[in-house]
Amino acid sequence: MKNVRNSWCVDVLFCAPIISLLIFNNMPTINKCFICNNALDSDREIKCDKCGNHIHSTCAGLSQSELKCFSNKNRKLAYHCDECNKENSEISEIKQLILSLKAEIDELKSARSLEYI
């Protein structure tokens, strides 16, 4: 005779992960604000065009009129969150540093070539 208890354990161990996947995959996802981590209200949220994070308009410091501009589907403006703006600023500083280093290298090269004349 088959051991019912062992058979039940095997069935539960096998089926439990599948059942939990079915349950959790059918649950609605709740987006949370990247800044405050609270649930988002679709009427008052904005999505960063660079990183894709969703943020409350108030957490982003946007007025109602600014939010309205960014919610226009045919807009020409891009919204970047503070994190992405910070990265953009750092990238600009690095680009400027590279340009100044290139100019300095060119000066050194030209000074060196004059030494040999």
pTM of the model: 0.53
Domain count of the chain?
Answer: 1
According to DSSP, the β-strands at 54-56 and 45-47 are antiparallel
Is residue 105 included in any domain, yes or no?
yes
Is residue 30 included in any domain, yes or no?
no
pLDDT the model gives residue 34: 87
Which portions of the chain are predicted below pLDDT 50?
none
CATH (domain of 102):
3.30.40
Closest CA to 81 of 48, 52, 59, 56: 48
Is residue 99 included in any domain, yes or no?
yes
pLDDT the model gives residue 51: 92
Residue 75 domain boundaries: 45-115
Is residue 25 included in any domain, yes or no?
no
pLDDT the model gives residue 43: 76
| φ, ψ of residue 25 in degrees (nearest 5) | -70, -25
3-state secondary structure at position 32: strand
Q: Cα–Cα distance between 58 and 64 in angstroms, integer? A: 9
pLDDT the model gives residue 71: 83
